[in-house]
Amino acid sequence: MPNLKPMPPLTLSAYTLVTANGRGVGPVLQALRERRSGLKPCDFEDVMLKTYIGRVAGLEDFALDRGLDRFDCRNNRLAWLGLQQDGFMVAVAEAKRRYGAHRIAVVMGTSTSGILETEHAYRERDPLTDGLPVWYRARYRYTHNMFSLGHFVRTCLGLQGPAMVVSTACSSSAKVFATAVRLIRAGLCDAAIVGGVDSLCLTTLYGFSALQLLSNEPCRPCDEDRDGLSLGEAAGYALLESSDKAGGRGAVALLGYGESTDGYHMSHPHPEGAGAVRAIRDSLTRAGLRPEEVEYVNLHGTATQANDSVEDKAVYSIFGARPACSSTKGWTGHTLGAAGITEAIISALCLTHGLMPGTLNCRRVDASLKSRILRESQTGSISCVVSNIFGFGGNNCSLVLGKL
Amino acid sequence: MEVAIHGIGLLASGLVGWSAGRPVLTGHRPFQPDEVPEPAAALLPPNERRRSSDCVRWAVQVAQEAMAQSGFEPRDVPTVFASSGGEMGVFDKLCCTLATPARMMSPTLFHQSVHNTAAGYWGIATAGQQSSTALSCYDDSFAAGLLEAVTVACVEQSPVLLVAYDLAVPAPLNQARPITTGFAVAFVLAPPSDTSLATMSVRLETASAVAASGLDDADLARLREDNPAARSLPLLSAIASGGVQTIRLGLLDSQQLILELGPCHI
């Protein structure tokens, strides 16, 4: 059993985010404040599903070049777009000067990587031999393979430390924080780039449709009439460094993490949320915090019947009805393997700007939910946020973020 | 970082189980690649087993073998699953379906396409609620998985199960990723104690002129080249030979994991 002692905080000394709401944290914050959703009727490729998606605009309008051609695919274009925002590359270059390229790890999360390339290649199979098109064969490694994203980000940033891609479905880019903490605490690196990128593809659109988990409307987390999720895409990154070395008073830091599994079912949550409870508790223990010190919980809140009610049971059992709780999926859609980093960065914005966003698209809170679900946004100083992410395979991760 | 090795599981052509594979790895028995028997993976409930992919059954089989040797209770042990490509057989089926006009996807196949499918089935089979990570680092996925597992053991002072697997890639995807034979390996690691049967010191170094460790046997060397999970073979071979050796595993182009094995009686 893991040793659960409080951990030293790690500063998020730089961070950035691209979602359907815009490029960079400025536009994302503005959308949160103006309660403007990024969800629109599905117009992805030739998909004929009646659903809404959080598509990042402009990914079809450019290609990766200048030595990055081999990585060119929707997922890596989105990854590249993310790296260009908020001066993130400058902050990484500065960290590289301080620590050296070998002392910075890259830990990225994604669920489907560049599978869209393989989907396209299969349509172009040779009718006689069933062979895949030649353009695709040498590109699998740099696009669809799960490590492609890690390889790409490490190449773009010129880093030479340990690197890996964590892929545990929706919890992927929350768990990257835990892996980075371990690498730093083990002395294998001084800093880590953590993040996640997941992009729209047919596999997830038709897959969630087959599971009957897609709403026909923009998703309505915690609403009494919620009927499923909306898919989105996103890229986000954070530079994590020891708080002894970076970040003054007021800087946002990772205070704790908790990881667990349900050990119950591949695509249904544990009915009592047992795994979720364990993840949240462990995150608080590592942060050295009591539940009553948490002011805001950013829910996984996918707007499926099962997730929102099971998550509510878990959250209520730990926090009662005291902290404000909301889901931000109504803005971004469910960005799957990028949901962890998306909501970690949104939580960082909430801490910095004293904002607790009311759950967008939630018209009437499901009366069976016992937690204090926010419908309207609130403002005020916040010192500590818990962000929950739960995924397929019953894979759970909770993060505690706070101000130094 | 110091860790103890408490159990090993192995499944590959000509290496069916750790006890059967050990004399092959030491050179006392010839390496004779043959068809691998369908793994029992008996821990999987019949319903889950019926629906499971080859990757799941191979991974569960080696995990089960290593865990039985360790004597730990499976549900108490966090897990790390490392695979370069994950469910390539499932991707083949999904992409075939998505290339048809109707795109009628099977919900079961969809949830089996995630990289943590084997990890999830292991969790269901053991009713485990400990942390579970699934990761990839292309050809260096075993080294990356070992790094993650060792940090779990050392930083969180916990036993940990590492499973690395990649299966033969079906046509036509094998034109893009030509892995021709399956390989699965599992280690149960834990913080060292007085009773440890095998210990290993692990550190990370900048890649030097010294090449990553190889294998004397040409057929085993080819297997190591063919399958990312088989990059574990030099380590397995050193453990089988009683340890007291240094093994170098490449980690991307820039670093090496240096494994200094103490005496191994496992």
| CA distance between the termini of chain B | 20
For B:213-242, CB contacts with A below 8 A are none
Residue A173 has pLDDT above 90, yes or no: yes
Q: Does residue A170 have an active-site annotation?
A: yes
Residue A172 has pLDDT above 90, yes or no: yes
Average pLDDT over residues A171-175: 98
State the best of A1, A99, A120, A139 to mutate against chain B, taking most chain B CBs within 10 Å: A1
pLDDT of residue A251: 95
Average pLDDT over residues B193-200: 88
pLDDT digits (tens, 9 = 90+) for A33-60: 999 999 999 999 999 999 999 999 999 9
Q: Distance (Å, rounded) from C-alpha B60 to C-alpha B121?
A: 8
Residue A270 has pLDDT above 80, yes or no: yes
From chain B, pick out residues whose CB is under 8 angstroms from the CB of A1: 76, 130, 158
Which residues, listed in sequence order, are joined to residue B258 by a DSSP beta bridge?
A: B203, B248
pLDDT of residue A335: 98
State the best of A104, A153, A166 to mutate against chain B, taking most chain B CBs within 10 Å: A166
pLDDT of residue A192: 98
From chain A, pick out residues whose CB is under 8 angstroms from the CB of B119: 168, 261, 393, 395
pLDDT of residue A1: 59
For B:84-103, CB contacts with A below 8 A are 84-86, 91, 94-96, 98-99, 103
Of A300, A362, A384, A397, the catalytic one is: A300
Could A167 and B254 be called an inter-chain contact, meaning their C-beta atoms sit closer than 8 Å?
A: no
User: DSSP letters of B170-194?
Assistant: PTTGGGTS---S-EEEEEEEE---T
Average pLDDT over residues A76-92: 98
Asked if the C-beta of B174 comes within 8 angstroms of chain A's C-beta atoms, the answer is no
Lowest mean pLDDT among A200-204, A251-255, B8-12, B205-209: B205-209
pLDDT-above-90 percentage for chain A: 94
Q: Name the average pLDDT for chain B.
A: 96
Q: Is A187 left (phi over 0), alpha (psi -120 to 50) or beta?
A: left
Nearest-CB residue to B254 (from A160, A208, A274) = A160
Q: Name the average pLDDT for chain A.
A: 97
Q: Does residue A300 have an active-site annotation?
A: yes
User: Which helix (H) or strand (E) covers residue B161, if one does?
Assistant: strand B160-166
Q: Distance (Å, rounded) from C-alpha A270 to C-alpha A106?
A: 32
Average pLDDT over residues A314-336: 98
Could A264 and B124 be called an inter-chain contact, meaning their C-beta atoms sit closer than 8 Å?
A: yes
Residue B216 has pLDDT above 90, yes or no: yes
pLDDT band at A266 (very low <50, low <70, confident <90, very high): confident
Of A42, A156, A170, A219, the catalytic one is: A170
- Better-predicted residue by pLDDT, B167 or A2: B167
Handedness of CA B237, B239, B240, B243 (dihedral sign): positive
Average pLDDT over residues A110-138: 97
Asked if the C-beta of B7 comes within 8 angstroms of chain A's C-beta atoms, the answer is no
Contact A164, A153 (CB under 8 A): no
Residue B189 has pLDDT above 80, yes or no: yes
pLDDT band at A287 (very low <50, low <70, confident <90, very high): very high
pLDDT of residue B232: 98
**CB atoms closer than 10 angstroms to residue B23:** 12
Contact A195, A238 (CB under 8 A): yes
Of A334, A350, A362, A397, the catalytic one is: A334
State the Cα torsion A342-A345-A346-A351 to the nearest 10°.
160
Q: Distance (Å, rounded) from C-alpha A304 to C-alpha A16?
A: 28
Residue B57 has pLDDT above 80, yes or no: yes
- Retrieve residue A390's tokens: 């739960």
pLDDT of residue A138: 96
Chain A CA closest to residue B203: A188
Q: Distance (Å, rounded) from C-alpha B85 to C-alpha B91?
A: 10
- Whether the predicted model's global pTM rises above the 0.90 cut: yes
Phi/psi for A18 (5° steps) reads -120, 125
| C-alpha distance from B108 to closest chain A C-alpha (Å) | 8
pLDDT digits (tens, 9 = 90+) for B147-177: 999 999 999 999 999 999 999 999 999 999 9
Residue A246 has pLDDT above 90, yes or no: no
Nearest-CB residue to A393 (from B123, B135, B173) = B123
Q: Distance (Å, rounded) from C-alpha B85 to C-alpha B76?
A: 27
Which residue, chain included where needed, has tokens 């002692």?
Answer: A5
Chain B CA closest to residue A120: B99
State whether residue A159 is helix, strand or coil: coil
Average pLDDT over residues A276-300: 98
pLDDT of residue B193: 87
Nearest-CB residue to A162 (from B91, B147, B171) = B147
Distances from the Cα of A403 to the Cα of A173, A251, A255, A301, A395, angstroms:
21, 5, 9, 24, 27
How many Cβ pairs within 8 Å bridge chains A and B?
Answer: 236
pLDDT of residue A285: 98
State the best of A51, A110, A122 to mutate against chain B, taking most chain B CBs within 10 Å: A122
Residue A212 has pLDDT above 90, yes or no: yes
pLDDT of residue A3: 66
pLDDT band at A243 (very low <50, low <70, confident <90, very high): confident
Nearest to A229 by CA among A305, A310, A315: A305
Nearest-CB residue to A164 (from B86, B96, B144) = B144
What letters, b where the CB count within 10 A reaches 16 and e where it falls short, cover A145-163?
Answer: bbbbbbbbbbbbbebbbbb
| C-alpha distance from B86 to closest chain A C-alpha (Å) | 8
Could A164 and B112 be called an inter-chain contact, meaning their C-beta atoms sit closer than 8 Å?
A: no
Nearest to A288 by CA among A381, A400, A187, A178: A400
pLDDT of residue B83: 98
Asked if the C-beta of B63 comes within 8 angstroms of chain A's C-beta atoms, the answer is no
pLDDT of residue A65: 92
Residue A2 has pLDDT above 90, yes or no: no
pLDDT digits (tens, 9 = 90+) for A141-168: 999 999 999 999 999 999 999 999 999 9
Residue A103 has pLDDT above 90, yes or no: yes
State the best of A144, A168, A201, A280 to mutate against chain B, taking most chain B CBs within 10 Å: A168
| C-alpha distance from A177 to closest chain B C-alpha (Å) | 12
Q: Distance (Å, rounded) from C-alpha A328 to C-alpha A300?
A: 8
Which residues, listed in sequence order, are joined to residue A54 by a DSSP beta bridge?
A: A232
